[in-house]
Amino acid sequence: MARQAGRGAAESKKMSSELFTLTYGALVTQLCKDYENDEDVNKQLDKMGYNIGVRLIEDFLARSNVGRCHDFRETADVIAKVAFKMYLGITPSISNWSPAGDEFSLILENNPLVDFVELPDNHSSLIYSNLLCGVLRGALEMVQMAVDVKFVQDTLKGDSVTEIRMKFIKRIEDNLPAGEE
């Protein structure tokens, strides 16, 4: 019963994505004014994303009922089918697994962050949605996974799809204080 009430609350948390998209756009615009080059903006977006990710994971785990993932394939599924769906209302497809199963790509057909965006020519090295990389990295770090996340294709730059490449680096061991095992 309590769980159902919780789910009802989760439903009512939906809002139009326009506010989010426009706010994000205003943020990127401001950062482009504040920093001289695109690399610094990318870095700043990633850092902010990371800070969001480490908090978002708590919200996600509390609301989604997802337990610990046993392997990276399961992690990929949860990210694409549950997390992206919940927060951005889209379901990216998963592809291009590496033979070792430690690398995959998220393919986004439409990226809600870029709904009303055109990149001017003088910002060719700006990774507009770089916040997402930080969010993914931060969130996964909180569940003991060190992961490298980066954009390899972007519709804003003329590619046909947006592709985020995720590479598993290592499992982060629990750091127990000495003598408390």
Partner 1 sequence: MNKTEMADEALFLLLHNEMVSGLYRAAEHGEGENGRCITKLENMGFRVGQGLIERFTKDTARFKDELDIMKFICKDFWNTVFKKQIDNLRTNHQGIYVLQDNKFRLLTQMSVGKQYLEHAPKYLAFTCGLIRGGLSNLGIKSIVTAEVSVMPACKFQVMIQKM
Which residues of this chain interact with partner 1, rule CB under 8 A?
Answer: 12-27, 29-30, 34-35, 44, 47-48, 51-52, 55-56, 59, 86-90, 112, 116
CB of 10 to partner 1, least distance (A): 9
Q: How far is CA 59 from CA 123, 135, 158, in A?
A: 34, 13, 34
The nearest distance, CB 119 to partner 1, in angstroms, is 17
Distance CA 100, CA 98 (A): 5
Nearer of residues 127 and 168 to partner 1, judged by Cβ: 127
Q: Which is nearer to partner 1, 83 or 168 (CB)?
A: 83
Phi/psi at 17 (5° precision): -75, -5
Closest to partner 1 by CB, 22 vs 146, is: 22
Please give the Cα distance from 103 to 167 (Å, whole number): 4
Q: How far apart are alpha carbons 131 and 139 in whole angstroms?
A: 12
Tell me how far, at minimum, the Cβ of 116 lies from partner 1, in Å. Answer: 7
CB of 120 to partner 1, least distance (A): 16
Contacts 24+ apart (CB under 8 A), 145-148: 145/75, 145/171, 145/172, 146/170, 146/171, 146/172
Residues forming a β-bridge with 39? none
**Residue with smaller CB distance to partner 1, 5 or 15:** 15
